[in-house]
Amino acid sequence: MDARLNYMAQPDAAKAVKHFISGARTLRDSTLPSVTQELVALRVSQINGCSGCIDMHTKEAAHAGETPLRLHLVAAWREATVFTEAERAALELAEAGTRVADAAGGVDDAVWERAAKHYDEEQLTALVVHIAFMNMVNRLNVITRQPAGDYEPGQIH
């Protein structure tokens, strides 16, 4: 499978993508736990069907020490007992934030309150920006059919 576009071959797009990635790297230094960031990135990418990001975030999480069991259960996190209450709240917010078009009211107050119970304002801000960032990258990759499978941990992060 070949990608429809190579963003990095187009000067304006390459510049924009580099800025996007730079912004995402800034979030990595936030107080939002890195394991939470990877779980959220993986779940958003699963929902959006972004194979490149699923490949990337599965490998990055495994490289950082995440267990295969937890990675396999991210798609079924509601029924899985391996996630903390804080991680579950973050995954719930990620799903609600990704599926805003499916929910007439967007992210409901109960979802927000569960996340706010576990994360302070700085962490919530990082979480919301991370969810939005992942949705943007997923859309870029899905629209242009970016292939998956060749990512190496640390290649972009």
- The secondary structure of the chain as a DSSP string is ---S--GGGSHHHHHHHHHHHHHHHHHHTSSS-HHHHHHHHHHHHHHHT-HHHHHHHHHHHHHTT--HHHHHHGGGTTT-SSS-HHHHHHHHHHHHHH-GGGSTTSS-HHHHHHHHHHS-HHHHHHHHHHHHHHHHHHHHHHHTT---S---TTS--
pLDDT for position 151? 82
pLDDT for position 123? 97
Exposed (0-12), middle (13-18) or buried (19+): which is 104, by Cβ within 10 Å?
exposed
Which long-range contacts does 88-92 make (Cβ < 8 Å, 24+ apart)? 89/114, 89/115, 89/117, 89/118, 89/119, 90/36, 90/39, 90/40, 90/115, 90/118, 90/119, 90/127, 91/39, 91/40, 91/43
Q: What is the mean pLDDT of each run of 10 residues along the chain (157 residues)?
A: 82 87 84 95 97 94 94 97 98 96 84 98 96 95 88 77
pLDDT for position 79? 97
pLDDT for position 157? 66
